Amino acid sequence: METKKHIGIYGVCFEQNKLLCIKKNAGPYRGRFDLPGGSQKNDEGLTETLQREILEETGYKLSAYR
């Protein structure tokens, strides 16, 4: 049986000394807080994945990262 590898891309976002978190809506961690992020699509780079996931999950667009 072939094993699929999963890579999760997550961001630690601070603004004015506050950490940006999301609240899980489904799955085993429903109702808990997590960092914004998720799975990389086949045609994406790591930075593109992070930008997309943060926008999808929070509505925020990254202005800078390191």
pLDDT digits over 7-24, tens only? 899 999 988 999 999 999
Return the ∠ at Cα 52 (arms to 31 and 41), rounded to 5°: 95
pLDDT digits over 19-64, tens only? 999 999 998 999 999 999 999 998 999 999 999 999 999 999 988 8
Per domain, the residue ranges of the chain are: 8-58
pTM (two decimals): 0.81
- What is the reported pLDDT for 65? 83
Contact assessment for residue 60 and residue 20, using Cβ atoms and an 8 Å cutoff: yes
